[in-house]
Amino acid sequence: MVAMHYLRTIPLLATVAQFLAATAESTVQRTSASRDNDDTPLPVVIWHGLGDTYAAEGIQQVGELIQAVNPGTFVYFVRLDDSAENDRRATFYGNVTEQLARVCADLAAHPILSTAPAIDAVGFSQGGQFLRGYVERCNAPPVRNLVTFGSQHNGIVDYRACESRDWLCRGAMALLHGNTWTSFVQSRLVPAQYFRDPADLDSYLEYSNFLADINNERALKNETYARHIATLENLVLYLFEDDTTVIPKETGWFEDVNGDEITPLRARKMYQEDWIGLRELDRKGGLKFKTTPGEHMQLSDKVLTDAFTEFFGPYKTAARDQDVVGEL
Ligand SMILES: *[C@@H]1O[C@H](CO)[C@@H](O)[C@H](O)[C@H]1NC(C)=O
Ligand SMILES: *[C@@H]1O[C@H](CO)[C@@H](O)[C@H](O)[C@H]1NC(C)=O
């Protein structure tokens, strides 16, 4: 069995320190010279994964790295409770629809996020599909770029293993096994709400409390979901090459894995009939499939830095150039 890997194990501090030293001078110049122009990077919202918390060191270090790459970025860490312990608990227990509604309300009421022209977002593991749900159901404030790492966009066919002393995790997994489709489990156990077995789609379509809805797999499609996804500038899907924690790992790319048969997203009906806007996004070049070496959530600071450099930062580069001309 594979132990859970949490972000808090990532050694990011050295890189952050280097960045801060290198950018300290330019940060001062930028903030004093241009407070109100479009040079300001968009805020970034981070949603952590199963068994993690918004307050965990690894997640906080990701925030520091984002600020090192784009100085002045406001970073918001999604939480379902200010208590780190309760926030961790909510990664295992809760009704995802209700959790998401709570996050939508928090973001919409936030003084900085709600007044930004847009926000960027990064989701780790299940936080990735939850942020996609945010875009589909709420998207106020609107997301420009959404980056997901090892997320379960097409569900999972098996539950992950827990560390032997992680009683919260083990308790949740014990309830899950064999009970996935009961309403008790669908309304209370988070991973069950993105469980999807292609060999038993009927149960999934009937009972799934979250994934079947946000993937628009039922007969009645919600057109708002597709419209919102298509308004993204980029949806960036990172897949861990050696992921043995998420089964199947190809779910990170919306691939359908039925036994040995793997159907890539572009060959699927959900893409061809554009149930959630992915085809339209792909047409304008905004759907990005990426891989990164390693096991689930074994992220290097280089991979994160590259992603934050490419997809986060100021709203419009063009506007920045105009400002420079104006100042001359
Ligand atoms: C579709 O989703 C939007 C956003 O969540 C919601 O307001 C609307 O009621 C949904 N429409 C249907 C038909 O369920
Ligand atoms: C989850 O919460 C939503 C909103 O309160 C509710 O409509 C839904 O029935 C709940 N899901 C289950 C399986 O109870």
Q: Are residues 9 and 3 in contact, defined by beta-carbon separation less than 8 angstroms?
A: no
Cα 137 to ligand 1 centroid, rounded to whole Å? 7
Backbone angles phi, psi at 16, to 5 degrees: -60, -45
CA angle, residues 60, 233, 208, in degrees to nearest 5:
70
- The residue whose CA has the least distance to atom 1 of ligand 1 is 222
**Would you say the CB of residue 182 lies under 6 angstroms from ligand 2?**
no
What pLDDT score was predicted for residue 305?
98
Q: At what angle do helices 57-69 and 13-33 cross, to 10 degrees?
A: 40
- All structural domains of the chain, each given as residue ranges with its CATH number in brackets, are 1-41+313-328 (no CATH), 47-308 (3.40.50.1820)
DSSP assignment, residue 294? S
| Cis-peptide into 248, omega within 30 deg | yes
Q: Pocket around ligand 1: residues whose beta carbon is below 6 Å from it?
A: 137, 222, 224
What pLDDT score was predicted for residue 316?
75
Tokens 């991979």 -> residue = 303
Q: Which atom of ligand 1 is nearest to the CA of 223?
A: 1
Residue among 39, 52, 87, 243 flagged as catalytic: 243
CA angle, residues 277, 201, 270, in degrees to nearest 5:
15
- The residue whose CA has the least distance to atom 6 of ligand 1 is 137
Is residue 164 part of the annotated active site? The answer reads no
Tokens 């999934």 -> residue = 204
- Residue 249: strand, helix, or coil: helix
Is residue 52 part of the annotated active site? The answer reads no
- The residue whose CA has the least distance to atom 11 of ligand 1 is 222
pLDDT by 10s per residue, the chain, length 328: 333 344 443 334 444 444 444 444 444 444 434 444 568 999 999 999 999 999 999 999 999 999 999 999 999 999 999 999 999 999 999 999 999 999 999 999 999 999 999 999 999 999 999 999 999 999 999 999 999 999 999 999 999 889 989 999 999 999 998 899 999 999 999 999 999 999 999 999 999 999 999 999 999 999 999 999 999 999 999 999 999 999 999 999 999 999 999 999 999 999 999 999 999 999 999 999 999 999 999 999 999 999 999 999 999 754 444 444 434 3
The Cα 53–Cα 82 span in angstroms is 10
Is residue 81 part of the annotated active site? The answer reads no
Residue among 256, 282, 296, 301 flagged as catalytic: 296
Cα 98 to ligand 1 centroid, rounded to whole Å? 15
Spell out where the chain has E strands.
Answer: 44-47, 75-77, 119-124, 143-149, 234-240, 256-258, 261-263, 287-292
What pLDDT score was predicted for residue 81?
98
Cα 91 to ligand 2 centroid, rounded to whole Å? 17
**Would you say the CB of residue 99 lies under 6 angstroms from ligand 2?**
no
**Would you say the CB of residue 186 lies under 6 angstroms from ligand 2?**
yes
- Residue 39: strand, helix, or coil: coil
Q: Are residues 275 and 221 in contact, defined by beta-carbon separation less than 8 angstroms?
A: yes
- The residue whose CA has the least distance to atom 12 of ligand 1 is 222
The Cα 277–Cα 268 span in angstroms is 13
Q: Which stretch of DSSP H or E encloses residue 173?
A: helix 167-176
Q: Which atom of ligand 2 is nearest to the CA of 209?
A: 13
Q: Which atom of ligand 2 is nearest to the CA of 101?
A: 4
Cα 97 to ligand 2 centroid, rounded to whole Å? 7
